[in-house]
Amino acid sequence: MPSWRDELNEAVKTKAEREAEEQERHRKRVEEALATAEAAMKLGSEALRYTADKLKEKEQPATLEETGDVLRLLLHELSLRFELLRENAVIKVTFGDGKPREFDFAKDRHISPADVEEYIGRRSLELVRAAQKTTPW
């Protein structure tokens, strides 16, 4: 239990001091969350590679573009984009031109890498089904 001195020290802090402390706490949360986000990125990229390999086995024009922390699977006119934003430990998944789904590992500590892999796998499945609908093989 904090003493009255501790509470007084907290009460007299300036706005700038409070903001600096909050920024430092956020930086530490992001730093800790980045390890989980990187593990999720690894699993998600494996899911995209698996999808691309399966499509190539069926002689489909699947292309997997990889640039740093961004992967993009293209099939016909459809795309699935997967990226890691390291500065705030967020993974974004964008299907086509839709709004990206964000996984914020610094804010939501209950998200596991397996959750992201499952989401990527499901979006990959949607991509394949949509492509097969427009251009059957």
pLDDT at 2: 84
Instruction: Give the mean pLDDT of 104-109.
Output: 91
As to burial, measured by CB atoms within 10 angstroms (0-12 exposed, 13-18 middle, 19+ buried), residue 15 is exposed
Q: Determine how many CB atoms are found less than 10 A away from the CB of residue 41.
A: 23
pLDDT, residue 26, reads 84
Residue 1 has pLDDT above 90, yes or no: no
Q: What is the C-alpha to C-alpha distance for residues 94 and 103, in angstroms, rounded to an integer?
A: 12
Residue with tokens 């590679």: 49
Residue 109 has pLDDT above 90, yes or no: no
Residue 130, C-beta contacts closer than 8 angstroms, at least 6 positions apart: 78
- What the chain holds in terms of domains, given with CATH numbers, is 4-134 (3.30.920)
At 98, the pLDDT band (50, 70, 90 cuts) reads very high
In whole angstroms, what is the distance from residue 39 CA to residue 57 CA? 27
Run of H or E residues at 50? helix 15-57
User: Model confidence over 9-66: pLDDT tens digits?
Assistant: 888 888 888 898 888 888 898 888 999 999 999 999 999 999 999 999 999 999 999 9
